[in-house]
Amino acid sequence: MTTYDVDDVEFTALKRKTILITGCATGIGRSAVDLAYQNGANLILGDVQEKEGQELATKLGERALFRKCDVSIWDDVLELFQAGQIQYGGIDVVLANAGVNEIGNLFEDGIDTATGKLEAPNLATLNINLLGVLYTAKCAVHYFMKQEGKPCQLVLTGSAACFLDTPPLYTYSVSKAGVMGLMRGLRTQLPKNNNVTVNMVAPWMTKTPMLLPEFLNVWGELPANEPIGVARALLLPAVRPELNGKSFFVAGYEIVDFEEGLERTRPEWMGVQLSEHVDEGQRRILP
């Protein structure tokens, strides 16, 4: 387990960087906007909440550009990146942060009154939290390659649900596990030719508008995140560009990488022989 402490002064490295943030209008995204702006970054902002997002960009002035963006719609995501590239001439950091809580109940049956058939579940959570991150990552890598070797960072907002049981947030858990899978799939590949790093932030209990009140009511004295604590973790890879392939679990203001511990202890929980075989298998099949 590796714990990361980050001093306020480190964020001054964000000055003149161009940072694209989805889900910018409230919660963690809004705190990341404020932190980046205060330290001199240019901002490309996207959110489905058009009124709040436009008001935010107007308040920030010339160093901020906003576009309404539903991340589950490819054209919205592409337009956000295109507008930012035109405005600032390049994109250095992308925070794929837009997300929602569980929409609907996966295992609550709905019956079509006309046909009597079982209705398909609502997959909006999956489309926003996972498809939206895939779209954002696709555009990020495309535009990072235009930077001709300049270090760039892709940061994905995951969740504690990547690691912990979180019923009844079934579709939410699937979506966030997918985000972690994407990070792990990319982390050996992006740095090779594109000088790009990828990391994931996995917030534990966080006080945002999407938090279910029943969760907070029973939390008591346990550590809970304020949005700014998670925002600091999201921007950590932007000020320490050597970081890659990390899963930053955030509890309170503590940032802990789980990937290093999982890798180091793998012979213990997998068994020494199987762990060695897995190492060799990965060596053979990874491009």
Distance CA 32, CA 234 (A): 7
Beta pairing partners, 198: 154
Tokens of 181: 């899978």
Average pLDDT, the chain: 95
- Residue 217: per-residue pLDDT: 79
- Exposure string of 30-52, with b = 16+ CB inside 10 Å and e = fewer, is bbbbebbbebebbbbbbbbeeee
Token output for 213: 């009140």
C-alpha pair distances (Å), 98 with each of 26, 38, 65, 69, 103? 10, 21, 17, 10, 15
**Locus of tokens 């560009």:** 241
- Give the containing element (helix H, strand E) for 72: none
What percent of the chain stands above pLDDT 90?
87
pLDDT tens for residues 258-275? 999 999 999 999 999 999
In angstroms, the CA 123 to CA 171 distance is: 7
- pLDDT at res. 275: 96
Report pLDDT digits (tens) over 175-219.
999 999 999 999 999 998 778 999 999 999 888 877 777 777 788
Q: Kindly report the pTM of this predicted structure.
A: 0.95
Evaluate whether 194 touches 147 at the Cβ level (below 8 Å).
no
Tell me how far apart the alpha carbons of residues 31 and 26 are, in angstroms, rounded to a whole number: 8
Question: How confident is the model over 241-250, as a mean pLDDT?
Answer: 97
> Which residue, among 58, 17, 60, 20, has the nearest Cα to 41 in the 3D structure?
17
Confidence label for 7 from pLDDT (cuts 50, 70 and 90):
very high
